[in-house]
């Protein structure tokens, strides 16, 4: 059974996340389908891609599949992790990707949404960054990604409190490009997609790649990188990491001790 729906019309591709029973969690199976669809769209000369959930969705995506996180002692967000793979896929595809967001966005799905080139939301949209709820150390590239889009203090608040950011505030801090009524969300999104599709796809793809390269043009020296990795390992080697995942699976509140 497919976990996404993909379609192409007038050079505009659409990927609909279609695993509502699991709140469109970014499992390896779903990510594999998204990656294959993006590859097909790219070969088909698609000019714009819209990433969305079904109309009326309460959750756009629940983020990383916690059941697929590794045991303690292994990096939970390593290079080939499904979440990191799909983030790279969206960031590196030459097509502009528009996130049409209805409903709440949790955890790593926030990073997926922010990896899209344009975000369009509605009053039901919210963003909640949840790694601290389950004791997961987020990776350096992901945190830098958030910092490139909004101020460091907003990033700290999102990660420290794990409380939802409303659609109105998300627009104010620069996460959402546009905030439109629910009943006009689809029309507004696809009108923007049609507008983009009329322009030079080569010019747009080159500009997108330039922006990606320039936004990541902040080199870390080897000592800093090693320090960051060492800090993250303190977390994924900890009893808090084990407790956070166990509590999630048992559907209870975790009891963190800081060790």
Catalytic residues: 64, 108, 138
Burial 219-242 (b: 16+ CB within 10 A, else e): eeeeeeeeeeeeebeebbebebbb
Structure tokens that stand for 193 in this block: 């997609």
Please answer whether residues 184 and 191 qualify as being in contact, where contact means their C-beta atoms are separated by less than 8 angstroms: no
Look at the block and give the residue holding tokens 């969705």: 57
Look at the block and give the residue holding tokens 């998300």: 170
Which are the contacts of 22, defined by CB distance < 8 A and separation ≥ 6?
62, 65
Strand runs (DSSP E) across 136-248, as ranges?
165-166, 178-179
Structure tokens that stand for 156 in this block: 């700290």
CA distance 175 to 170: 5
CA distance 22 to 240: 25
* Strand-pair partners of 99: 51, 119
């Amino acid at each position: 059974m497919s976990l996404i729906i993909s379609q192409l019309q007038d050079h505009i591709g659409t990927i609909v996340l279609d695993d509502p029973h699991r709140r469109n969690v970014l499992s390896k199976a779903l990510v594999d389908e998204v990656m294959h669809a993006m590859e097909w769209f790219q070969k088909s000369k698609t000019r714009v891609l819209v990433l969305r959930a079904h109309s009326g969705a309460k959750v756009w995506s629940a983020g990383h599949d916690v059941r697929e996180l590794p045991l303690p002692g292994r990096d939970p967000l390593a290079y080939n992790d499904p979440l990191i793979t799909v983030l790279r896929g969206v960031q590196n595809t030459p097509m502009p990707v528009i996130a049409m967001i209805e409903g709440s966005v949790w955890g790593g799905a926030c990073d997926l949404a922010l990896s899209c080139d344009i975000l369009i939301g509605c009053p039901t949209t919210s963003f909640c960054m949840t790694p601290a709820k389950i004791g997961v150390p987020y990776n350096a590239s992901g945190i830098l990604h958030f910092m490139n889009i909004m101020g460091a203090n907003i990033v700290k608040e999102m990660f420290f409190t794990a409380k939802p950011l409303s659609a109105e505030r998300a627009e104010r801090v620069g996460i959402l490009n546009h905030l439109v009524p629910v009943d006009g969300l689809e029309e507004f999104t696809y009108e923007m997609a049609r507008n983009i599709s009329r322009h030079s796809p080569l010019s747009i793809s080159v500009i997108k790649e330039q922006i990606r390269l320039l936004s990541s043009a902040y080199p870390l020296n080897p000592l800093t990188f090693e320090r960051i990795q060492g800090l993250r390992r303190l977390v994924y080697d900890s009893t808090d990491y084990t407790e956070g995942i166990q509590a999630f699976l048992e559907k209870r509140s975790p009891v963190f001790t800081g060790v």
